[in-house]
Structure 1
Amino acid sequence: MNLNILIVDDHPMTVDSYINLLSENDFNENKPNFIKSYDCENAYNKIIYYSKQNINIDFALLDISLPPYNEFNINNGVDLALLIRKKFKNCKIVLLTMHSEPLKVDRIIKELKPEGFISKSDINFEIFPIICKKIIAGDIFYSKTIMESQRELFKKNINWDNHDNQILILISQGVKTVNLPNYIPLSMSAIEKRKANIKEQLLLGKGSDKDLIGKAKKLGLI
């Protein structure tokens, strides 16, 4: 299938490196068409052009730090990603960054929910195309430094106690919610409220018990 891939980075050599890596045999089956940009203005114009032509952008690799497009208040790769979300609902978005400040990372994840969020220090030429192929296939991938940043934030701001930890651990061991009062000295309604609070903090309120346990394990909470 044809795969339109937008790559935006203010270093032309980096853009060319990504293209080379995504032009290997594993990606040839997708017939990639690369759309290159080096700043927010050029990327903005290409996103609008493809949208008006009713041509999908399927995959976007966006550096976060980019020369801004002040006229339309597009200041960085995150603003471009939000525009892509509006114009191309099914586009898989990967953000790349050299910065991993916990509050900034958390805000971006909550605002955008990118399919990929990668610290450039975590990748090399060998694993980069593998990661991209998995994201295109439907996986979500946040690199080690991004996950550590999230973990630190949760550890500092987490709002629960030992009962909440017990709830998580018991669920991870396969205990059904209806049976939790047999293990924890709380009422069913109190347990359900605590579980909802945990889900709100880790999953923004949405997700199954499996999703909850998966996120808690990734963050090193259990």
Structure 2
Amino acid sequence: MTFDLTAPISHLITRNILIVDDHPFIIEGYKNAITRYNPKEYDFRIAQAYDCRSAYDLLEDESTPKFDVAFLDISMPAYEEKEIFSGEDLAKLILKKMPDCKVILLTMYTELLKIKTIIRTINPNGLIIKNDLTFDELLLAFDKVMKNGKYYSQSVVKMVNQSPHNSIEIDQFDKQILFHLSKGTRTEDMSQYIPISLAAIEKRKVNLKELLKIRSGSDEELLKEAKSKGLF
């Protein structure tokens, strides 16, 4: 992780920005766009991290300033020891520590359930599908968020508007978890068949039970409810 400690110019408004992405060239693209936004009005101090662990360390550092805006990629190398598995978990941590920070999430996910879950659990100020992303799109999103608005990219808006309000959809990993549960596979053995960690599998099971309103918390009830809704 790195942090730009260049002293702000006194007559400009200072804004602290966090960018977390595991692709350095993408970070540079974001920085290029941000620094071109109203340069006569703002001085942007940009911190960057490349995975969940370096972002966590930065957020836990007492010398780190409060961030005004955070750009977070959703899919990044996890920090399993602290149960930070994605940009979503980082967003929750940021909003807990810095409730005034505006969060912009960027993702390659296009599954409806995933998008709706992000909106429901994080309620980000910005949500952008990376396939929608252009330089102008990023500037537009940043402008809206800086002006206390929300920005959802075109694909997000289209998915949310076209989906039935009561629809339930799950992604491929969730389907694999349900499948292996139905076959009697123990949770601790599932990572042999599903390419995610045991901790991530356990977290997904909890999320599935919340989604399907399983009050008992049992795997049997989860399977029964998921099967009744045709989820596997």
TM-score (norm 2): 0.63
Report whether the alignment pairs 1:22 with 2:34. yes
Moved more, 74-83 or 116-125: 116-125
Mapped partners of 2:63, 2:153: distance in 1: 34
C-alpha separation between the residues in 1 aligned to 2:164 and 2:132? 21
Percent identity of equivalent pairs: 36
Give the direction of change, closer, same or farther, for the CA distance of 1:154–1:20 in structure 2 (3 Å limit): same
TM-score, normalising length from structure 1?
Answer: 0.66
C-alpha distance in 2 between matches for 1:4 and 1:33? 5
Say if 2:100 is the partner of 1:115. no
Structure 2 residue aligned with 1:184? none
Give the distance between the partners of 1:34 and 1:106, measured in 2 at CA: 29
Within the alignment, does 1:139 sit opposite 2:176 as a pair?
Answer: no
Looking at secondary structure, tell me which structure has more helix per residue.
1
Deviation at 1:123, TM superposition (A): 2.2
Size of the alignment, in residue pairs?
156
1:159-211 deviation line (CA, Å, top 9, x unaligned): xxxxxxxxxxxxxxxxxxxxxxxxxxxxxxxxxxxxxxxxxxxxxxxxxxxxx
1:76 aligns with 2:86: yes
Name 1:164's counterpart in structure 2. none
RMSD: 1.7
**Residue 39 of structure 1, aligned match among 39, 51, 61:** 51
Q: Where in structure 2 are there 5+ consecutive unaligned residues? A: 1-12, 169-232
Task: Give the AA of the match of 1:47.
Answer: L
Is contact 1:103–1:153 with CA below 8 Å preserved after alignment? no
Distance 1:27 1:134, change over 3 A: farther
1:35-184 alignment, distance < 5 Å: 35-49=47-61, 52-53=62-63, 55-154=65-164, 157=167
Structure 1 portions without partners, runs of 5+: 159-222
Distance (whole Å) between structure 2 residues aligned to residue 145 and residue 28 of structure 1 = 33
SS in 1 for 2:42: coil
Find the structure with the greater CA-based Rg: 1
- Give the superposition deviation at 1:25: 5.0
- Secondary structure of 2:35's counterpart equals coil
